[in-house]
């Protein structure tokens, strides 16, 4: 197996699916010659032409609506939304149209659309280009939400998303585009709703999404040196959520921390922690803890920005508190 | 109105700054924006500017001094003369400004912000004042360390939290103060009559210690200063040996489930003084506890009888009672069946289900007359309902009251009676169990 970057993995997934199915096309700002600001799509316009790699003006609601229409009429658009923060601009097209067409048409219409976008702070991009807004769309029935944690997941989940007959939103962490991971050369898909146990442990479960999986793994390393064996789980898709795997681990370790880069309040961490508290209550030796990003606009100051997101040290510190039986009321 | 020059916070984790050099001298005329002094932190050296036009006066710290962030280190005044409004608060000299003679014990307390003994730990009732870092009448800034406090876990420095003057010190170093009690007062203006007392003096607490605990009030000796601060470095304080006042035990859901499944009583951990909250690991401690002394002597004379029923008639009966008689509280019905099986006219029956206990007063008469028992009424009989658990047999030994344990046995029911020999004679025990077993098999018989 070779190591490739997350960018290359996404690029490969798109190229393979575009070769396999000629109804797949890419649309968005700076997707053709520019290959996106993150160079994820470099080379695709050369192979597939401007008919299938479509540059648009700066007009998110416009091209998103266009893509929903195209999906309703038999194609499989992959919409490139340059920053996850711009999702506010396309809420109606995504949440009112794409998410509801299948239900409201009694199954006669479907929207096989993929929205590719990103999340993640600490890139010094300030408050309007650093948000992690996956909780907004995970809240809407009818949308699937995938959160790849490495190049391997980025490729496997993207291919599954393109083949899905209903809308899928994929959030890539914009800080991970150059991170390498082993990715098989032969074709593979990662099914939705199957969590990945990244590391086994008996003492505490760390559930992380996207780049927070790495944070959890680093925390597990710290804890291992202190004799605490942490289990690290990557749900890979938050909708659908592999509740069974999470609950099984929670029952095994009886302590859980959920780590995610979205704002902590009303977010993914709260949803997952709540399900565990509800469904594994009598197996828990401590409350399931949430660790999200601070409930503040992402600061531009690097020193401030860095303290708004969960760190391995902070996760390890909370893990120690849970292990020692200290009563925690806030993370 | 003079402007204060304070030690600025230049870094994220900066507590103090070192004055490298003064760029202006006391009495110099300064303009807003002039560099006054250079300060060095762990990260950088910076010049600090004057906040206003005026004269630099009342310089509190010399070059080379480490000054806590937020401390006033000089004033920018309208005239070149020192105003004297700042007490010397530089680190080196805390006692230079001797206050007026402390007022008598009974004097009313001065006005000002109250400083209380903080709660530094979850289960902390009191804190030992290791040392006061400010003296009576001293000027303090909000971030100044006012005193050091020692708990069972650690020693910590506590900041004043207020700018002003120490107007009252209400506990001596070495004394233990209840959490929440006022131990000092910081006034805005320099106090005319500062008050100093110790907790030991304050036999009549007045308004100073509204939350003084009974133990403290009853036993002033215990509040006497301890010899040295090292005393509390002992591994653990004597934990509260009594259950919490509200009777609830703090335990994790898992610990409760394990205790229930294994037929263990978390109360025994409370009685043993094991600190709460309880977690799964404390169940091991509970299992390792020696059996209660009373039970220990009575083990040889304890009684254990078991009855097996092919059929549990209670659920159907409870449904019938709810439908036809409006008796919807199944545990109360269960208590009724058990109470009626005891000899006597009136019984208190405690029903233990899933770690919760409810006590009922069961009079002789209709099931509708059963009421919740008064708080603190000692039960005559305990009924432990384990039908929803996986436990099939119990052998827990005698407890304070006779205990009937219900467990599932296939489609039927297994009932175990355990008691000490002095609770019930052999005849009474067999009578109770067979009566109760009969009632559980055919509850309607009870009504006849």
Q: Give the tens place of pLDDT for each residue, A188-231.
A: 999 999 999 999 999 999 999 999 999 999 999 999 999 999 99
- Please compute the mean of the pLDDT values over residues A259-280 and round it to a whole number: 97
- H/E stretch holding A183 reads strand A180-183
pLDDT tens digits along B97-118: 444 444 444 457 788 888 888 7
| Residue in A279, A281, A282 to test binding to B, most B beta-carbons within 10 Å | A282
Exposed e or buried b for every residue in A284-295, given b needs 16+ CB within 10 A?
bbbbbbbbbbbe
**Residue of chain B with shortest Cα separation from A281:** B253
A18: tokens are 């575009």
Decide if pLDDT at B240 tops 60.
no
Q: SS3 for chain B, per residue?
A: CCEEEECCCCCCCCCEEEEEEECCCCCCEECCCCEEEEEECCCCEEEEECCCCEEEECCCCCCCCEEECCCEEEEEECCCCCCCCCCCCCCCCCCCCCCCCCECCCCCCCCCEEEECCCCCCCCCEEEEEEECCCCCCEECCCCEEEEEECCCCEEEEECCCCEEEEEECCCCCCEEECCCEEEEEECCCCCCCEECCCCCCCCCHHHCCCCCHHHHHCHHHHCCCCCHHHHHCCCCCCCCCCCCCCCCCECHHHHHHHHHCCCCCHHHHHCCCCCCECHHHHHHHHHCCCCHHHHHHHHHEEEEEEEECCCCHHHHHHHHHHHHCCCCHHHHHHHHHHHHCCCCEEEEEEEECCEEEEEEEECCCHHHCEECCCCCCCCEEEEECCCCCCCCCCCCCCCCCEEEEEEECCEEEEEEEEECCCCCHHHHHHHHHHHHHHHHCCHHHHC
Cβ contacts of B255 on chain A, cutoff 8 Å: 285
Listed residue (B151, B164, B155) closest to B114, CA to CA = B164
Q: In what order do the strands lie in the sheet with B72-77?
A: B3-6, B72-77, B54-57, B29-30
Decide if pLDDT at B294 tops 60.
no
Residues A285, B252: C-beta atoms closer than 8 Å:
yes
Listed residue (A292, A210, A282, A198) closest to A247, CA to CA = A282
**Residue of chain B with shortest Cα separation from A283:** B254
B218: tokens are 């009853």
The rounded distance, in Å, linking the Cα atoms of A252 and A205 is: 9
- B281–chain A Cβ distance below 8 A for any pair: yes
Query: How many other β-carbons are positioned within 10 Å of the β-carbon of residue B120?
Result: 17
The rounded distance, in Å, linking the Cα atoms of B151 and B11 is: 30
Give the best-scoring range by mean pLDDT among A302-316, B72-86, B159-173: A302-316
Phi and psi dihedrals of B102, rounded to 5?
Answer: -55, 140
- Please compute the mean of the pLDDT values over residues B48-56 and round it to a whole number: 88
The rounded distance, in Å, linking the Cα atoms of B18 and B62 is: 10
Residue A60 annotated as catalytic = yes
Residues A325, B257: C-beta atoms closer than 8 Å:
no
The rounded distance, in Å, linking the Cα atoms of A287 and B253 is: 9
Residues B254, A254: C-beta atoms closer than 8 Å:
yes
- H/E stretch holding A237 reads strand A237-239
Cβ contacts of B256 on chain A, cutoff 8 Å: 282
Listed residue (B245, B386, B246) closest to B312, CA to CA = B386
A51 near A83, Cβ under 8 Å?
no
A186: tokens are 């032969």
**Residue position matching structure tokens 């520019």:** A34
**Residue of chain A with shortest Cα separation from B282:** A325
pLDDT tens digits along B348-397: 898 888 778 888 888 877 777 888 888 778 888 888 888 888 887 888 87
Residues A286, B255: C-beta atoms closer than 8 Å:
no
Cβ contacts of A204 on chain B, cutoff 8 Å: none
The rounded distance, in Å, linking the Cα atoms of A293 and A264 is: 5
DSSP 3-state of A297: coil
pLDDT of residue B123: 64
The rounded distance, in Å, linking the Cα atoms of B317 and B333 is: 9
Q: For residues B239 and B14, which has the higher predicted lDDT (pLDDT)?
A: B14
- Cβ neighbours for B304, distance < 8 A, ≥ 6 positions apart: B395, B416, B417, B418
Residues A325, B256: C-beta atoms closer than 8 Å:
no
Report CA B410 to chain centroid distance, whole Å: 45
Residues B279, A281: C-beta atoms closer than 8 Å:
no
B225 near B250, Cβ under 8 Å?
no
The rounded distance, in Å, linking the Cα atoms of A130 and A137 is: 17
**What percent of the residues of chain A are helix, what percent strand, and what percent coil, each to the nearest 5?**
40, 20, 40
Residues A282, B254: C-beta atoms closer than 8 Å:
yes
* Band of residue A71 on the pLDDT scale cut at 50, 70, 90: very high
- B279–chain A Cβ distance below 8 A for any pair: yes
Cβ contacts of B122 on chain A, cutoff 8 Å: 326-327
**Residue position matching structure tokens 């020696």:** B290
Residues A326, B122: C-beta atoms closer than 8 Å:
yes
Decide if pLDDT at B213 tops 60.
no
Residues of A with CB under 8 A from a CB of B: 254, 281-286, 303, 325-327
Of B122, B254, B277, which is closest to A283 when you measure between CB atoms? B254
Cβ contacts of B389 on chain A, cutoff 8 Å: none
What average pLDDT does chain A have?
Answer: 96
Q: What is the DSSP letter of A261?
A: E
Cβ contacts of B12 on chain A, cutoff 8 Å: 303
Residues A281, B277: C-beta atoms closer than 8 Å:
no
A286: closest CA of chain B, how far (Å)? 6
Residues A325, B277: C-beta atoms closer than 8 Å:
yes
- B274–chain A Cβ distance below 8 A for any pair: no
Residues B255, A285: C-beta atoms closer than 8 Å:
yes
State what percent of residues in chain A have pLDDT above 70.
99
Report CA A119 to chain centroid distance, whole Å: 8
Query: Can you say whether residue B366 is alpha, beta or left, with left for phi > 0 and alpha for psi between -120 and 50 degrees?
Result: beta
Residues A285, B277: C-beta atoms closer than 8 Å:
no
**Residue of chain A with shortest Cα separation from B250:** A327
Q: How many CB pairs under 8 A join A and B?
A: 30
Listed residue (A239, A65, A72) closest to A143, CA to CA = A239
- Cβ neighbours for B407, distance < 8 A, ≥ 6 positions apart: B386, B387, B389, B391, B392, B393, B394, B413, B414, B415, B416
**Residue of chain B with shortest Cα separation from A279:** B253
**Residue of chain B with shortest Cα separation from A324:** B279
Residues A325, B281: C-beta atoms closer than 8 Å:
yes
Residues A326, B253: C-beta atoms closer than 8 Å:
no
Residues 77-136 of B with CB under 8 A from A: 122
State what percent of residues in chain B have pLDDT above 70.
79
pLDDT of residue B192: 82
Report H helices in A109-266: 134-138, 151-163, 212-225, 243-253
Decide if pLDDT at B343 tops 80.
no
Of A282, A303, A327, which is closest to B12 when you measure between CB atoms? A303
**Residue of chain A with shortest Cα separation from B275:** A325
**Residue of chain B with shortest Cα separation from A278:** B253
Model ipTM over 0.85: no
pLDDT of residue A326: 80
What average pLDDT does chain B have?
Answer: 77
Q: For residues B245 and B362, which has the higher predicted lDDT (pLDDT)?
A: B362
Residues A284, B252: C-beta atoms closer than 8 Å:
yes
Cβ contacts of A284 on chain B, cutoff 8 Å: 252-254
Decide if pLDDT at A50 tops 90.
yes
- Please compute the mean of the pLDDT values over residues B416-442 and round it to a whole number: 84
Set A60, A172, A217, A231: catalytic member: A60
Q: What is the DSSP letter of A95?
A: I
State what percent of residues in chain B have pLDDT above 90.
4
pLDDT of residue B121: 64
DSSP 3-state of A290: strand
A48 near A18, Cβ under 8 Å?
yes
Set A16, A129, A221, A229: catalytic member: A129
* Band of residue B122 on the pLDDT scale cut at 50, 70, 90: low
**Residue of chain A with shortest Cα separation from B283:** A285
Query: Virtual CA dihedral for A42, A44, A45, A46, nearest 10 degrees?
Result: 90
- H/E stretch holding A197 reads strand A196-199
* Band of residue B246 on the pLDDT scale cut at 50, 70, 90: low
pTM: 0.53
B169: closest CA of chain A, how far (Å)? 33
Give the side-chain half-sphere CA count within 13 A for A139.
Answer: 12
Cβ contacts of B254 on chain A, cutoff 8 Å: 254, 282-285
The Cα diameter of chain B in Å comes to 105
| Residue in B44, B248, B279 to test binding to A, most A beta-carbons within 10 Å | B279
B12: closest CA of chain A, how far (Å)? 8
Residue A129 annotated as catalytic = yes
The rounded distance, in Å, linking the Cα atoms of B285 and B251 is: 14
Residues B254, A325: C-beta atoms closer than 8 Å:
no
Q: For residues B123 and B25, which has the higher predicted lDDT (pLDDT)?
A: B25
Cβ contacts of A324 on chain B, cutoff 8 Å: none
Residues B252, A283: C-beta atoms closer than 8 Å:
no
Determine whether B174 is exposed, middle or buried from the number of CB atoms within 10 Å of its CB (0-12, 13-18, 19+).
middle
């Amino acid at each position: 197996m070779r190591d490739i970057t997350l960018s290359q993995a996404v690029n490969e997934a798109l190229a393979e699916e575009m070769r396999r199915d000629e109804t797949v096309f890419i649309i968005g700002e700076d997707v053709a010659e520019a290959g996106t600001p993150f160079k994820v799509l470099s080379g695709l316009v050369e192979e597939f032409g401007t008919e299938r790699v479509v540059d648009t003006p700066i007009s998110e609601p416009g091209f998103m609506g266009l893509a929903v229409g195209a999906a309703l009429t038999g194609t499989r658009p992959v919409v490139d939304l340059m920053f996850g923060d711009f999702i506010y601009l396309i809420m109606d097209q995504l949440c009112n149209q794409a998410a509801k067409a299948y239900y409201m048409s009694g199954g006669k219409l479907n929207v096989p659309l993929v929205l590719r976008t990103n999340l993640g702070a600490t890139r010094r991009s300030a408050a309007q280009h650093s948000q992690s807004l996956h909780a907004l769309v995970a809240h809407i029935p009818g949308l699937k939400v995938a959160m790849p944690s490495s190049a391997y997941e980025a490729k496997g989940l993207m291919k599954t998303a393109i083949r899905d007959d209903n809308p899928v939103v994929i959030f890539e962490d914009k800080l991970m585009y150059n991170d390498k991971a082993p990715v098989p050369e032969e074709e593979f898909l990662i099914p939705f709703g199957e969590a990945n146990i990244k590391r086994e442990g008996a003492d505490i479960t760390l559930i992380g999404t996207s780049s927070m999986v790495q944070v959890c793994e680093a925390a597990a390393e710290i804890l291992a040196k202190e004799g605490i064996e942490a289990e690290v789980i990557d749900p890979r898709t938050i909708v659908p959520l592999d509740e069974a795997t999470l609950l099984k681990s929670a029952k095994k370790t009886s302590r859980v921390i959920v780590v995610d880069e979205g704002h902590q309040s009303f977010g993914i961490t709260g949803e997952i922690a709540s399900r565990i508290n509800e469904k594994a209550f009598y197996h828990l030796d401590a409350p399931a803890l949430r660790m999200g990003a601070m409930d503040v606009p992402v600061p531009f100051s690097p020193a401030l920005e860095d303290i708004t997101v969960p760190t391995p040290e902070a996760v390890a510190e909370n893990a120690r508190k849970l292990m020692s039986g200290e009563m925690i009321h806030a993370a | 109105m003079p402007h204060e020059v304070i030690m600025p916070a230049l870094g994220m984790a900066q507590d103090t700054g070192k004055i490298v050099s003064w760029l202006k001298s006391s009495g110099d005329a300064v303009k807003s924006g002039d560099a006054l002094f250079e300060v060095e932190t762990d990260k950088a050296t910076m010049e600090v500017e004057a906040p206003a036009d005026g004269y630099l006066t009342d310089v509190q710290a010399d070059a080379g001094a480490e000054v806590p962030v937020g401390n006033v280190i000089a004033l920018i005044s309208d005239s070149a003369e020192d105003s004297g409004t700042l007490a010397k608060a530089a680190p080196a000299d805390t006692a230079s400004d001797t206050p007026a003679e402390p007022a008598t014990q009974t004097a009313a307390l001065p006005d000002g912000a109250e400083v209380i003994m903080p709660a530094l730990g979850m289960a902390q009732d009191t804190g030992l004042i290791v040392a006061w870092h400010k003296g009576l009448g001293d000027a303090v800034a909000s971030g100044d360390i006012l005193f050091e406090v020692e708990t069972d876990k650690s020693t910590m420095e506590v900041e004043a939290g207020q700018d002003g003057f120490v107007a009252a010190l209400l506990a001596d170093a070495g004394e233990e103060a209840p959490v929440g009690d006022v131990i000092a007062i910081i006034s805005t203006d320099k106090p005319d009559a500062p008050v100093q007392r110790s907790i030991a003096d304050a036999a009549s607490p007045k308004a100073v210690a509204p939350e003084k605990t009974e133990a403290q009030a009853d036993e002033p000796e215990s509040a006497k200063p301890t010899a040295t601060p090292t005393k509390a470095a002992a591994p653990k304080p004597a934990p509260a040996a009594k259950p919490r006042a509200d009777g609830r035990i703090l335990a994790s859901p898992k610990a409760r489930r394990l205790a229930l499944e294994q037929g263990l009583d978390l109360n025994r951990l409370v009685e043993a003084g094991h600190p709460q909250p309880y977690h799964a690991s404390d169940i091991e401690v509970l299992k390792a506890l020696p059996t209660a002394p009373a039970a220990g002597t009575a083990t040889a004379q304890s009684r254990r009888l078991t009855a097996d029923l092919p059929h549990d008639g209670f659920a159907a009966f409870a449904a019938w009672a709810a439908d036809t008689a409006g008796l919807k509280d199944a545990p109360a019905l269960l208590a009724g069946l058990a109470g009626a099986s005891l000899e006597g006219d009136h019984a208190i029956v405690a029903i233990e289900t899933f770690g919760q206990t409810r006590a009922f007063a069961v009079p002789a008469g209709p099931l509708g007359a059963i009421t919740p028992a008064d708080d603190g009424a000692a039960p005559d009989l305990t009924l432990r309902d384990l039908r929803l658990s996986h436990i099939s047999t119990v052998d827990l030994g005698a407890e304070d009251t006779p205990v009937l344990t219900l467990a599932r046995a296939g489609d039927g029911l297994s009932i175990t009676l355990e008691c000490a020999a002095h609770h019930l004679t052999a005849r009474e025990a067999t009578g109770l169990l067979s009566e109760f077993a009969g009632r559980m098999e055919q509850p309607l018989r009870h009504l006849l």
